[in-house]
Amino acid sequence: GQQVMQIPQYQHVQEGEDFTTYCNSSTTLSNIQWYKQRPGGHPVFLIQLVKSGEVKKQKRLTFQFGEAKKNSSLHITATQTTDVGTYFCAGRNSGYALNFGKGTSLLVTP
């Protein structure tokens, strides 16, 4: 079945440093979504990418979808303590199941 892999599993940065998490799928995806889960909270939707090579920005966050639609990345510029949490990618192929990666836990120290 479809698997979505995410790296790194953990990342510890100093406030102001950049952060990137990568997501790779074993199969071509129809779309990919990104979610953020704060400690003790539930996943909250950030964005959806649909087109090959698509790039979207949300303030300091930049999301990319690979040309082959099998990989994606999330880059945060100049991290802040409010960025702390676990970032998940979730991919969907032609079916209805939305499969999440294991997530990247980001810790930001001031």
Partner 1 sequence: DSGVTQTPKHLITATGQRVTLRCSPRSGDLSVYWYQQSLDQGLQFLIQYYNGEERAKGNILERFSAQQFPDLHSELNLSSLELGDSALYFCASRQGTTNTGELFFGEGSRLTVL
Residues that bind partner 1 (CB under 8 A): 6, 30-31, 33, 35, 41-45, 48, 50, 88, 90, 92, 94-103
DSSP string across 4-60: EEEE-SEEEEETT--EEEEEEESS--SEEEEEEE-TTS--EEEEEE-STT-EEEETT
* Cβ distance to partner 1 smaller for residue 12 or 38: 38
* Minimum distance of partner 1 from residue 14's CB (angstroms): 26
Nearest distance from C-beta of residue 30 to partner 1, angstroms: 7
Q: How far is the CB of 94 from partner 1 (least distance, A)?
A: 8
Whose CA is closest to 63, among 52, 53, 73? 73
Q: 57 vs 102, which CB is nearer to partner 1?
A: 102
DSSP H or E run through 70: none
